[in-house]
């Protein structure tokens, strides 16, 4: 059973140049840290930027790459997340919303896949 994750968890985007972090603003806590739910996907509020974005699906990257005559030109990451994390818990809820598991993923509209790389705190509640 995969553990749940909490605020401060380190995230990675497949098209980002640096790690980001999960910011959780829910009233549900375990110990002293809020538990992440599948709704924690708001860009720059729940999911911090990942340094530079390397996705041509990102209009800023596409424009900069075109201006550089086709040479990939990464631009500052502004996550385009918003859809819920997938494969959240089917049994454990925080505030009525399924919890995020260490195996959950979140898609960025620019094409990247956001995953958990270093959980801040792992909670071993049922899945």
Question: Which sequence spans correspond to the domains of the chain?
Answer: 1-122
Residue corresponding to tokens 């385009």: 80
d(CA 24, CA 91): 20
Give the pLDDT confidence score for residue 8 in this predicted structure.
Answer: 86
**CB under 8 Å to 59, separation ≥6 — which residues?**
none
Give the pLDDT confidence score for residue 120 in this predicted structure.
Answer: 66
SS3 2: coil
Give the pLDDT confidence score for residue 11 in this predicted structure.
Answer: 96
Tell me which residues of the chain have a pLDDT lower than 50. Answer: 1, 125-127
Give the pLDDT confidence score for residue 3 in this predicted structure.
Answer: 79
d(CA 109, CA 24): 21
Give the pLDDT confidence score for residue 127 in this predicted structure.
Answer: 44
Give the pLDDT confidence score for residue 126 in this predicted structure.
Answer: 45
């Amino acid at each position: 059973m995969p553990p749940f994750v909490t605020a401060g968890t380190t995230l990675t985007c497949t098209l980002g140049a640096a790690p980001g972090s999960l910011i959780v603003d829910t009233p549900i806590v375990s110990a002293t840290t809020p538990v992440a739910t599948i709704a924690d996907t708001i860009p720059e509020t729940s999911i911090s930027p990942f340094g530079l974005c390397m996705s041509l699906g990102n209009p800023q990257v596409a424009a900069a790459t075109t201006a550089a005559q086709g040479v990939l030109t990464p631009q500052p990451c502004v996550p385009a997340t918003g859809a819920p994390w997938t494969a959240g818990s089917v049994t454990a809820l925080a505030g009525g919303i399924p919890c995020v598991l260490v195996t959950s993923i979140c898609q960025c509209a620019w094409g990247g896949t956001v995953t958990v790389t270093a959980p801040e705190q792992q909670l071993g509640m049922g899945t």
